[in-house]
Amino acid sequence: MSVVKASNLERKRWRIRSRTALADHIEQRIGVRIDPSEVRLITSEKDAYGWQRLPEAEPLFAKHLSDHSVGAYRKICEGVGRTFEAVVSPHHNGEEVRSIRKTPGNGTFTSRINSLTAEIDRLESELRGCNESLQAERDAREKVESELVNTRKDYDNQRVKLDEAISISVQLELVNSRYEEKVLSIRKALEE
């Protein structure tokens, strides 16, 4: 009688867990019931399902399920529905596939990615609009500041002219005052 290594038993348990998790996911996601022993990571045209995955899950799909290690089986159990998901095979005629099931608020990672991508697009558009508004405000501020500088120059020029006019006016008043004094003194001299 041969002795079975503990590591082989552990690997077998994780392989069964992975197959069961994948079979349950396929049934929940696309409505196809598959015996866990028939689940494949590398699918063919005859399979009713395929896999859509994020780049970090790609290495899991490079080998057949039976060829993986315990670590890979753990990643499969952790990643099912998160980093990869079952999809209806494009080659399958769909007779046995029921409608895709989704619970509200619990979409697939693909729908989440699409939703986030749409949100990013919306936010980028909003940001562009804000940047355009900001630039328009900056342009308007620069124009007002330029007008203010020109107004300040005009004001300063007018102030210089006003100061000159006041200075001339003061000088004229002094001249006028002296003139009046001389006129008064000449009048007095004439009257005497």
Q: Which two tokens stand for residue 167?
A: 């200075």
Neighbours of 184 (CB within 10 A): 10
pLDDT at 93: 55
pLDDT at 101: 42
pLDDT at 126: 93
Three-state SS at 184 = helix
Amino acid 181 reads E
pLDDT at 185: 86
pTM beyond 0.85:
no
- The DSSP symbol for 99 reads P
In a structure prediction context, what are the per-residue pLDDT tens digits for the chain, which is 192 residues long? 566 688 889 999 999 999 999 999 999 988 899 999 999 999 988 899 999 999 999 999 999 999 999 999 999 999 999 899 999 987 655 544 444 444 333 456 677 788 889 999 999 999 999 999 999 999 999 999 999 999 999 999 999 999 998 999 889 898 888 888 888 888 888 887
| Residue given tokens 């348990």 in the structure block | 13
- Write out the H or E segment, with its range, that includes residue 85: strand 84-88
Cβ atoms of 79 and 18 closer than 8 Å: no
